[in-house]
Amino acid sequence: MQPNTLLDAILDEAGISHSGLAAHVNLAGRARGLGLRYEHTAVARWLKGQRPRGQVPDLICEVLAARLRRPVTLDDIGLGVPGEPGAAPTSSLSGFVERATALWRSDEQQRPHLLGAPAVTGTPAVMPVWEWENPPEDIDVSRGGARRVDRADIEMLRAARTHYEQMYRKAGGVATRARIVGFLNSETAALLRGSYPDATGRQLHRATGGLVAVAGICAYDSNAHGLAQRYFHQALRLAKASGDRGLGAYVIALLVNQSLFMGEFRQSVAFAEAALRAAGREITPALACDLYAMQAKAYARLGDTASAYRCISRAESAAGRIHRGTEPDETGYVQPGLVNVQVAEALLGLGELRAARENAVAAVAAPAHDRGRVHRLAMLSKVELRLGADDSAAATATRMAEEARGMESQRLRDRMRTVRASLLGSSSPEAAGAAEVIEKALRVPL
């Protein structure tokens, strides 16, 4: 069950409150001989994704149509049933644009039913990946609208993606998310609804896909995992419309990373395989390196040692083929040392502590962006504690806390809490001191 952002958007457009909608639905139901007693709590449930029973969806359309003075369909309010007569195809690009922009609008307004939604699992989580990998393709993505989209608009979106990605790396996803979502609403939504031929449309959808992926990263970094997943699924649909398989594989790498965090290790392996398989020659060495490294971590957690080592070997081989001038902007996160920290985590899961430490040390020694350094130091501290090098781990953890200062990131705070808990299990005075440094850093509110 996912939040109904289309209903949320149209209620806002109609200027009707939750209580007001419930009262009007009850009144419209009486005209049909129905004894309805809905209150604002029922509307809140509908917005969370619950489907009203019986004739109520039609009554909602009737109420909103009278308010807006135009026809309102079940698809307009997010309650259309695929396969029913008159239902719009769920995969149509125009329908997707309306659903996507409704989500951005609800996110900017910080709707609680959206921000607190959990990530979906099972078939709903797998279907967007399956639809990206398989036909049908978008034959023509042209559109007629009021505003003509040109190359300057697309360059603006590309520049915005770079700007917000850099902001995320320095300040964290909590601080960046509101800004990028505001940009999606103020600038990007109008472009998607604009006028463009097929070739321009593919470039527009590609640029938007890269931007939406960063919005998903920021939501993930804010621990809004259901929202992050929906942004990633949007970015995947945009990648399909663009025809760029490499962009789609990049988005799936983000889904793999989220699946690892959620403990869905078999799904992580399957998603990575789908990206590697479907992208084919369009996959770059940097992206292949990251996908293989994440697969290695998943296999290690599943206890499949042979597969983990095979993926480690493939990740290291791909890392040796990376040439910065030939990589797209999106894979810039695969910086020197990233494969080392990923491999260190996989080796730690396999119990290979000394090899894990060698890779963690190499990762910390390599140049990285601000948040990347924090993650690498956290991993090195974790490995050192497992090896019994408590004093060295304490020094590394202290440096980690100092590097994290000023970053608004729930994920970094999670890492810091994990390191602190491990330090508290040590009898070393230095470890206790480092734990206190981390505790003070965690007291700073986001």
Does the pLDDT of residue 62 top 60, yes or no? yes
Among 287, 346, 289, 283, CA closest to 315: 289
Percentage with pLDDT > 90 across the chain:
75
Summarize pLDDT for 356-375 with one digit per residue, the tens.
999 999 999 999 988 999 99
What's the CATH code of the domain at 346?
1.25.40.10
Is 68 part of a structural domain of the chain? Answer: yes
pLDDT of residue 313: 97
Looking at residue 391, its amino acid is D
C-alpha span between 95 and 97 (Å, rounded): 5
Is 392 part of a structural domain of the chain? Answer: yes
pTM for this prediction: 0.87
Burial class (CB in 10 A: 0-12, 13-18, 19+), 25: buried
* 3-state helix, strand and coil shares in percent for the chain, rounded to the nearest 5: 70, 0, 25
Of 77-86, 318-327, 330-339, least confident by mean pLDDT is 77-86
C-alpha span between 138 and 293 (Å, rounded): 32
Contact 227, 117 (CB under 8 A): yes
- pLDDT band with cut points at 50, 70 and 90 for residue 1: low
Does the pLDDT of residue 81 top 80, yes or no? no
- pLDDT band with cut points at 50, 70 and 90 for residue 85: very low
Summarize pLDDT for 232-273 with one digit per residue, the tens.
999 999 999 999 999 999 999 999 999 999 999 999 999 999
232 shares a domain with 119: yes
What's the CATH code of the domain at 65?
1.10.260
Does the pLDDT of residue 101 top 70, yes or no? yes
Is 83 part of a structural domain of the chain? Answer: no
DSSP, res 78:
T
Is 86 part of a structural domain of the chain? Answer: no
257 shares a domain with 156: no
Of 367, 398, 419, at which residue does a domain stop?
A: 367
Q: What would the mean pLDDT of 22-31 be, rounded to a whole number?
A: 90
Is 406 part of a structural domain of the chain? Answer: yes
Residue 166 structural domain: 91-125+136-243
Contact 132, 212 (CB under 8 A): no
Q: How many domains does the chain have?
A: 4
Summarize pLDDT for 329-363 with one digit per residue, the tens.
999 999 899 999 999 999 999 999 999 999 999 99
Summarize pLDDT for 123-163 with one digit per residue, the tens.
989 999 999 999 999 999 999 998 999 999 999 999 999 99
Q: What would the mean pLDDT of 295-318 be, rounded to a whole number?
A: 97
